[in-house]
A and B are shown apart, each in its own frame.
Chain A
Amino acid sequence: MIVGSSPPRLDGADKVTGDAMYVDDLQFDGMLYGATVRSRQAHARYLGYELDPDYDWTDITVVTHEAIPGGNYVALMVDDQPALVSDLIRHPSEPVVLLAAPTREQAEEARAHVKLLVEPLPIVVDLEAARAGAGPIWGDDNIISHLEIQKGDGPGCVDKALAEHPDAILVEGRYYTGAQEQMYIEPQGIIAMPWGKGGIEILGSLQCPYYVVKALAQLLDVPAAEIKVVQAVTGGGFGGKEDYPSIISAHASLLALATGKPVKLVYDRAEDLSSTTRRHPAITWHRTAVAPDGTLLAMEVDCAFDGGAYTTLSPVVLSRALIHGVGPYNCEHAMVTGDIVATNTPPNGAFRGFGAPQVCFASERHIDKIAATLGRDPVALRRQLALRIGDTTLTGQTLETSVASDEVLDVALEASDWDRRRAEAEAINARGGVPPADPIPGMGTTGRLRGVGMSFFFHGAGFTGNGEARIKGRVRMEVRPDGQIVIYSASTDIGQGTRTVFPQLAATTLGVGIERIEMHTPDTSVVPDSGPTVASRTLMVVGKVVEDCSNALKARMGFEGGDWDAAVDAFFAGGGDGSVELEYQTPPHVEWDNETYQGEAYPCYAWACDVVEVEVCPDTYETRITGFWSAQDVGKAIHPVLVSGQLEGGSLQALGFAVLEEMKFADGQLTNNRMTNCIIPTALDAPEMDMRLVEAPFAGGPFGAKGIGELPMDGGAPAVLAAIEHATGLSLDSLPASPEALMRAAAE
């Protein structure tokens, strides 16, 4: 069976030969290069611009908000973000003026000759101050979005539990995670070309082609059919190319319309880092009433997420965060609250995990704190509290199937030889650390302290609640007379393997070889709207529609295996219609109340357990991750190599988040906006990874598969901090656990 095997990815040959064409590799006749003039102030009144009179503007086209035919906003959830500033600057890299020039160098050079006239206003960048209403810079309280979820007693549940259970213990914590950059290796870029009568064609590095269609139709005031969006081969996204490409497309389109020529707008790294979205910085407060036996009697969780200057996708991030707020644990009474808070920084957005990594960091650190308070073993406590079949989640969803909590704990702990490894680390540290005779390159020779930590986590797959019913993702499949089958879907491959696993699903369902299947390029003038490529939904949801289409074709053709060519010939000879288009059918049990946040938040959850071993240099507090074992529940591994590659890549993003990724700001402006100082792990910083796949099938997914794209991002950071605590006794509640932070903690 093709499902379950790991053929080389179908777009892979082009990627290893250099033939794959990314947006910056494409050139068109007469193509111009765009540049974006941005504000520097974080908050200011915009009064206008001046062009340097001594500069030669002959070949340069200048565009401002006045050139926008439709609404000056980037359509997404709330239409509050202007495509180009017209009067108020709300963050330090807002686009104000656009330029197009015959060469990249000229566009770049001209940018330095545009002066923006502004009148600075007081800025608000501190998250807690903003939440307390500083300014205000947004509405009358800086709150972009507020959400509450209650279970059992809800508000006041912790004090009530403490009053009712005199032996209960109160455990409190405050947990902080900072901004994190997606750091796809291909910076963002778009080419816009005049298309048809007054329309636009977009070619670009993007995740969600139909988002761009929607944004451009409103911006340019043209029917959606006049907008054609085609995905170029895309060099990574991780959420960063979910909504921002709509902005770049807007800019490139305005320049293309103004000049009548193709315009390429590709960011350099500094512009990408300074201007595009990142993971929301967040503070999470926990108050928990715990019984002496470890039972979580009641939990209060409160989160503040830094939304930046505009709404963008933040309300959805908050929603996912809060639903995951108490972690994969049983707790009868809970009150989970949170705000998206406005600040004068670029809007924060989607990044793998979408709010869950922040709250998972908090809840996993908090469970460790509870274990330490009670003197309990962290694994035993988690096993006691873990959600299992029949248990009820925060939103009142009773888990009926597809729960892998015991399996992932068993597999990861066994793979890592947890008990022995923990004991060995303790014995080594008692003897003064790992002997210098056993050096790690770059870590010096002082005896290093070893520690082992773990985390247990889950991640809801697909859109929240009735999101899928609203989106109605569609796929079309066609059999051609030559027997080839073409899949038409707007789901993009941004590295995760869509263009390989969809053909696997189709080939297996139809019972033909994978070489029979082709995938059409995501091109909105041809492919139906399958919904965005986000939320770990592509395989589980859109893949299901591919499976449904395949079954429908098979039934229509009466094909039951055997000679495919003969079946195709017979089918077309009989005048058959080889085209099927279907829409996603939400599983019947999904019931969700968007007002109360009660019900089936997700059709299923994926479960995981990470174990991390670290060594910490006692002189420098440098942390080296020396081992990583993980068990992650994927439902069904359609392509084991691709899925474990996803899990490994996501895990390293989490490990980097734990120890070395940090974005630093001054007055809202990113100060480390280069790859040399905004760092991610290299191959030397990454540990060898032992990734174990667990399969707890989800009946609603193709062949039992569930969404796992984001899952691996959630658990790495708390596991690393637990390991560091085991090694050094230093308990950190914020990220990253940089050497400087550890030294500070040690001094306290």
Chain B
Amino acid sequence: MRNVNGGLTVRFTLNGEAVEIRNVPPMERLLDTLRERARVTGTKEGCGEGECGACTVLIDGAPSVACLVPTCQVDGEEVVTVEGLAEDGRLSALQSEFLAAGGAQCGICTPGFLVAARALLDANASPTRAEIREGLAGNLCRCTGYQKIVDGVERAAEQERAGDAG
């Protein structure tokens, strides 16, 4: 745990599985640890300064930008990336509704949006469109104008509610 020189050994849960990553430079960004060490590359870098949200992951359920989180801070925590959203190898309702609505165009922002949307729906199963916009305001998309992203999340919420009811 205590480290001053050299790399750290960091243990956390990544998409439900325990991982242990050795020799992580102490202040390495979680984004780099995920992409370059764990080789899960769904989490994207659009700015490196917390503005675009393309690197959004969940840390203990809270949507966070992995470009501003040093990996040492997720020691012992639960991290979820876009790779953790599918269910049993099939697209989740969130993913398939987002896709069907046209929420992904070039797709570079999509992982971040899906993760932020997951956090939103976990906190609020019936968000209004205005609430969806607020929950996704930390994610920039230049392709869609956001209309179809909001549509997709709204439809996913309906699906999930229907699923829960049934």
Choose one: A8, A649, A653; the contact of B105 (CB below 8 Å): A649
Q: Contact flags (1/0) for A219-233 with B, using CB distance below 8 Å?
A: 000000000000001
Q: Specify which chain A residues have a CB less than 8 angstroms from the CB of B43 in the assembled complex.
A: 18
Q: B136 and A683: CB pair below 8 A?
A: yes
Q: B105 and A496: CB pair below 8 A?
A: yes
Nearest CB in chain B: distance from A398 CB, A: 35
Nearest CB in chain A: distance from B116 CB, A: 10
Q: B86 and A17: CB pair below 8 A?
A: yes
Choose one: B35, B47, B129, B147; the contact of A675 (CB below 8 Å): B47
Q: A674 and B108: CB pair below 8 A?
A: no
Q: A675 and B46: CB pair below 8 A?
A: yes
A212 at the interface (CB under 8 A from B): no
Bound: A182/B96 CA distance, A: 28
Residues facing A in B27-84 (CB within 8 A) are 35, 40-49, 51-52, 54, 81-83
B141 at the interface (CB under 8 A from A): yes
Q: Specify which chain B residues have a CB less than 8 angstroms from the CB of A201 in the assembled complex.
A: none
B14 at the interface (CB under 8 A from A): no
Q: A680 and B140: CB pair below 8 A?
A: yes
A19 at the interface (CB under 8 A from B): yes
Q: A8 and B142: CB pair below 8 A?
A: no
Residues facing A in B91-142 (CB within 8 A) are 91, 95-96, 98-102, 104-111, 114, 129-130, 132-134, 136-142
Q: Specify which chain B residues have a CB less than 8 angstroms from the CB of A183 in the assembled complex.
A: 140, 142
Among residues of B, the one whose C-beta sits closest to the C-beta of A26 is: B41
Q: A21 and B41: CB pair below 8 A?
A: yes
In the complex with contacts A18-B82, A185-B52, A236-B110 CB distance below 8 A: no
Q: Specify which chain B residues have a CB less than 8 angstroms from the CB of A641 in the assembled complex.
A: 101-102, 148
Interface size class of chain B, counting residues whose CB lies under 8 Å from the partner chain: 35 or more
Q: B91 and A684: CB pair below 8 A?
A: no
Q: Specify which chain B residues have a CB less than 8 angstroms from the CB of A688 in the assembled complex.
A: 129, 147
B8 at the interface (CB under 8 A from A): no
Q: Specify which chain B residues have a CB less than 8 angstroms from the CB of A184 in the assembled complex.
A: 106, 108, 142
Bound: A582/B133 CA distance, A: 46
Q: A645 and B144: CB pair below 8 A?
A: yes
Residues facing B in A10-61 (CB within 8 A) are 11-22, 24-25
Q: How many A residues touch B, CB cutoff 8 Å?
A: 58
Bound: A260/B46 CA distance, A: 29
Q: Specify which chain B residues have a CB less than 8 angstroms from the CB of A646 in the assembled complex.
A: 105
* Residue among B52, B81, B114 having the largest count of chain A Cβ atoms under 10 Å: B52
A613 at the interface (CB under 8 A from B): no
Residues facing B in A431-450 (CB within 8 A) are 441
Q: A686 and B42: CB pair below 8 A?
A: no
A268 at the interface (CB under 8 A from B): yes
Bound: A251/B49 CA distance, A: 26
Q: Contact flags (1/0) for A642-686 with B, using CB distance below 8 Å?
A: 101110111111000000000000000000001110001011101
Q: Specify which chain B residues have a CB less than 8 angstroms from the CB of A649 in the assembled complex.
A: 105, 141-145
Q: B142 and A653: CB pair below 8 A?
A: yes
Q: A645 and B95: CB pair below 8 A?
A: no
A64 at the interface (CB under 8 A from B): no
B157 at the interface (CB under 8 A from A): no
In the complex with contacts A236-B142, A648-B148, A683-B136, A16-B104 CB distance below 8 A: yes
In the complex with contacts A186-B106, A682-B137, A22-B101 CB distance below 8 A: no
In the complex with contacts A18-B111, A684-B133, A652-B102 CB distance below 8 A: no
In the complex with contacts A185-B46, A648-B147, A683-B149, A497-B142 CB distance below 8 A: no
Nearest CB in chain B: distance from A167 CB, A: 45
Q: B51 and A675: CB pair below 8 A?
A: yes
Q: B147 and A691: CB pair below 8 A?
A: yes
Q: A13 and B99: CB pair below 8 A?
A: yes
* A–B complex contacts, Cβ < 8 Å, 9 sampled: A9-B102, A16-B107, A17-B95, A185-B46, A185-B54, A187-B46, A648-B147, A683-B136, A688-B129
Sample of 7 more A-B contacts, CB < 8 Å, known A497-B105, A645-B148: A12-B99, A17-B86, A17-B95, A185-B52, A187-B46, A238-B142, A680-B140
- Taking Cβ atoms with an 8 Å cutoff, the residues of A that contact B are 6, 8-9, 11-22, 24-25, 182-187, 233-238, 268-269, 441, 494-497, 641-642, 644-646, 648-653, 674-676, 680, 682-684, 686, 688-689, 691
